[in-house]
């Protein structure tokens, strides 16, 4: 599935849903309830998304789906709520933080299995700044969005850190490793200061 290019209006709708879902989550403990009939057809298509929250340019939460299960508007509402309140790396967002959050949404293309004969062959094929990667090995799994290239611009470092994220040693390799690549359409909004 190719990425669709959303209009600025559609992006703004999704960013508003994300913020409303975080606010609703604080009040009710649940994501924003979505009636998909209220939204344009482009936002009702099943899509996999990640919602990333930052506060003062520091990661504050990031949760997403690798497979398209829910309609786009619903996936964004669910992931925004989860990024704010269920990311195990962070305490739940406090009421006072909500207005300070920068929200970024990444809509994923369909992951595509990569074919490679060795780690060197895999590294040759990886496209820095473009590819998000999913690494799967014997029950271990991890992903990095393309935005991670900003902090890990070297292919070798990117792959080593991805192995760590999946729960494997950085120098781990086996012929049964599977890697999938995807791209994202990403957009965001600054905090309402």
pTM attached to this predicted model? 0.88
Residue 193: per-residue pLDDT:
47
Is pLDDT above 90 for 177? yes
Encode pLDDT of 154-166 as tens digits: 999 999 999 999 9
Encode pLDDT of 124-138 as tens digits: 999 999 999 999 999
> What CATH number does the domain located at 112-182 have?
3.30.1490.150
Is pLDDT above 60 for 2? no
| Structure confidence at residue 59 as a pLDDT band (50, 70, 90) | very high
| Structure confidence at residue 189 as a pLDDT band (50, 70, 90) | confident
Q: Where are the alpha helices (H) located in the chain, listed in sequence order?
A: 8-28, 72-85, 119-125, 155-165
Do 8-109+184-189 and 112-182 share a fold? no
Beta carbons of 184 and 107 less than 8 angstroms apart: yes
Q: Cα–Cα–Cα angle for 98, 102, 108, nearest 5°?
A: 120
Q: How far is CA 78 from CA 40, 85, 103, 176, 188, in A?
A: 18, 11, 14, 33, 17
| Structure confidence at residue 28 as a pLDDT band (50, 70, 90) | very high
What are the extents of the domains in the chain?
A: 8-109+184-189, 112-182
Is pLDDT above 90 for 5? no
* pLDDT > 70 fraction of the chain, expressed in percent and rounded: 96
As assigned by CATH, the class of the 8-109+184-189 domain is alpha beta
Q: How far is CA 28 from CA 24, 32, 63, 147, in A?
A: 6, 9, 19, 31
């Amino acid at each position: 599935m190719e990425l669709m290019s959303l209009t600025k209006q559609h992006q703004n709708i999704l960013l508003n849903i994300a913020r409303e879902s975080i606010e609703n989550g604080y009040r009710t403990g649940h994501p924003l309830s979505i009636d998909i009939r209220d939204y344009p057809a482009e936002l009702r298509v099943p899509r996999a998304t990640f919602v990333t929250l930052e506060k003062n340019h520091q990661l504050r939460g990031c949760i997403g789906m690798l497979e398209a299960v829910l309609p786009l508007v619903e996936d964004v509402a669910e992931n925004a709520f989860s990024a704010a309140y269920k990311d195990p790396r962070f305490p739940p967002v406090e009421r006072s933080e909500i207005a300070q959050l920068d929200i970024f949404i990444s809509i994923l293309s369909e992951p595509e299995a990569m074919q490679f004969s060795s780690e060197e062959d895999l590294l040759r094929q990886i496209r820095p700044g473009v590819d998000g990667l999913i690494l799967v090995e014997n029950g271990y799994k991890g992903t990095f969005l393309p935005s991670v290239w900003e902090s890990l611009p070297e292919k070798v470092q990117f792959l080593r850190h991805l192995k760590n994220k999946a729960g494997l040693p950085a120098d781990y390799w086996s012929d049964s490793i599977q890697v999938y690549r995807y791209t994202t359409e990403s957009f965001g909004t600054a905090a309402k200061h």
